[in-house]
Amino acid sequence: MPITPTYPGVYVEELPSGVRTIVGVATSITAFIGRALRGPTDEAILINNYGEYERIFGGLWNESTMSFAVRDFYNNGGSQAVIVRLQNGGGKAAFEVPSEPSHEDNVLNLEAANEGAWGNKLQAKIDQDFPSSEVGKADAELLFNLSIRDQGTGVVETFLNVSALEGHPRQVDKVLENTSELVRATELPAARPDPTVNAEDDNWEPADGVSGGDDGDRITEDEFILSKEATKEGLYALENADLFNLLCIPPYYPGVDGDGDIDGTLIDAALIYCEKRRAMMIIDAPGSWKNKDDAKTGINSTADVGATNTNGAIFFPRIVMPNSLKDKQLEIFAPCGAIAGIFARTDATRGVWKAPAGLEAVLKGVIALSVPLTDSENGELNPKGINCLRSMPPAGRIVWGARTRVGDDMLASEWKYIPVRRLALYMQESLYRGTQWAVFEPNDEPLWAQLRLNIGSFMDNLFKQGAFQGSSASDAYFVKCDKETTTQYDIDRGIVNIIIGFAPLKPAEFVILKFQQIAGQA
């Protein structure tokens, strides 16, 4: 702030530079929504590797297409994922930790932290084994230790010096709610629970586990969107995720020979939500597409693949992989997880402006494709905006298409290509977050100059990385914010207008080699 001189002498004042660095957002955080073996429901949980998915959501499960998609995502180069577990009518396991017959009112009632049959393998034990020197005598008469064991995973949680007394700093139900991933206390006992019989001999109760945990029925479209927006559940649980760039909704269930699907109405709702969140949806081709003709006919059916949208891309056919839960028998899986992994891998090595396709875009772990395609068949599907997966020795199974759902040649859309659309979404999200400081600033030339400077620096950095066409910055992009873009009428309404233009790179879909004989020429 300006200095007010009061004495004769030299004063030092620091002037603000007006530079506010705009940091680019992540480009390949992938949201997965579906059924899982265990874990929180209708919550957006950020994970960084498949080990975290196994710990929180239980790993591979034959009833969960999402579990295989997340595995494929990480196998193909994925980094961060947001998981939303849905369930339909599941139940939580509940059990008592027995007390001495003379203290039947001191029973501790517990239930699994979330729905699923996994909770039927929970056990607990109570002891009062703590040195009296660690706690006062009065406290010692209130405290106990609680241990929980999950027989399915072998995980043991131990909570020391907890109390059943209402209002105690270590009140057991509050401790479990805040720190346990396995159980919750449903009712506090009237007094301190007695130790489990022979607890020191590794005696757990109930001895054979519990019952009541239920996986429920297969999920349907209703679990995603029916009255879910207001409560931020289902698809809209992603409202609680700060950022995601890609959305994968695998089929509701595996189906017969991998032909499970999701409804076109859900695809439409998901695409609309992706537009709102500046994200892109990776759409699995329906399992009923058994050949090229099915795909050519089905792409026009909104009931199967939803309506055309700039923020979606469809991939055909499905992938064949071994199922480690079925003695490595080959099965057909939806490819969205593996495709998202390739998006992430390409972003990390080349940039979001590079098409996630080509000989580098190898589908790791994929043994075969459900429908082998020839060049001529690929040539019929590509102009319709269907991205094909191909087998091309020696590369193997690769992605051989990079068009959005408006990639049909008849639509002539400026958002025809996936990398062009994703680059625009990346810039929109980065600049949206990076210009929040300008809100409520005085709307005049000093503000406009700062905006031009900061946005221009961000765009110039992208240009130097090779994100745009053009040999010079003036050919590649422009940032305009002045009295021409923001008139007095705009200023009176509190509006500042910034116009940003860029020349995107388009993928070279067709490489044409032209040969000519020059015999007889000098």
**Is residue 461 a part of any domain in this protein?**
yes
* 59 and 99 co-located in one domain: no
The verdict on whether omega for the bond into residue 206 sits within 30 degrees of 0, i.e. cis, is yes
* 333 and 377 co-located in one domain: yes
The pLDDT score that the predictor gives to residue 139 is 66
* 64 and 108 co-located in one domain: no
Number of domains in the chain: 3
Q: What is the mean pLDDT of residues 201-210?
A: 73
For residue 480, name the pLDDT band (cuts at 50, 70, 90): very high
CATH, residue 122: 2.60.40
* 414 and 473 co-located in one domain: no
Contact between 503 and 420 (Cβ < 8 Å): no
**Is residue 156 a part of any domain in this protein?**
yes
User: For the segment 482-504, what is each residue's pLDDT rounded down to a tens digit?
Assistant: 999 999 999 999 999 999 999 99
* 390 and 318 co-located in one domain: yes
Spatial distance between the Cα atoms of 151 and 121, rounded to a whole number of angstroms: 5
DSSP label at residue 47: E
Q: Is the pLDDT of residue 378 over 90?
A: yes
* 227 and 346 co-located in one domain: yes
Contacts for 112 with CB less than 8 Å, ≥ 6 apart: 92, 93, 94, 118, 119, 122, 182, 183, 184, 213
**Considering 171, 201, 231, which residue would you say is the last residue of a domain?**
201
User: For the segment 469-479, what is each residue's pLDDT rounded down to a tens digit?
Assistant: 999 999 999 99
**Is residue 101 a part of any domain in this protein?**
yes
* 233 and 335 co-located in one domain: yes
* 446 and 498 co-located in one domain: yes
CATH, residue 364: 3.40.50.11780
Q: Is the pLDDT of residue 136 over 60?
A: no
**Is residue 288 a part of any domain in this protein?**
yes
% of the chain beyond a pLDDT of 90: 77
Query: Judging by beta carbons within 10 Å of its beta carbon (0-12, 13-18, 19+), is residue 223 exposed, middle or buried?
Result: buried
**Is residue 209 a part of any domain in this protein?**
no
* 176 and 253 co-located in one domain: no
**Is residue 2 a part of any domain in this protein?**
no
Pairing of strands 108-112, 183-187: antiparallel
**Considering 152, 167, 201, which residue would you say is the last residue of a domain?**
201
Spatial distance between the Cα atoms of 110 and 204, rounded to a whole number of angstroms: 14
User: For the segment 227-270, what is each residue's pLDDT rounded down to a tens digit?
Assistant: 999 999 999 999 999 999 999 999 998 888 778 899 999 999 99
3-state class (DSSP) for residue 184: strand
The pLDDT score that the predictor gives to residue 104 is 61
For the entire predicted model, the pTM comes to 0.93
**Considering 201, 228, 246, which residue would you say is the last residue of a domain?**
201
* 101 and 74 co-located in one domain: no
**Is residue 10 a part of any domain in this protein?**
no
* 371 and 456 co-located in one domain: no
User: For the segment 159-198, what is each residue's pLDDT rounded down to a tens digit?
Assistant: 999 998 888 999 999 999 999 999 999 988 888 888 877 6
* 237 and 375 co-located in one domain: yes
**Is residue 431 a part of any domain in this protein?**
no
For residue 522, name the pLDDT band (cuts at 50, 70, 90): low
Show the domain range for 365: 30-88+220-420
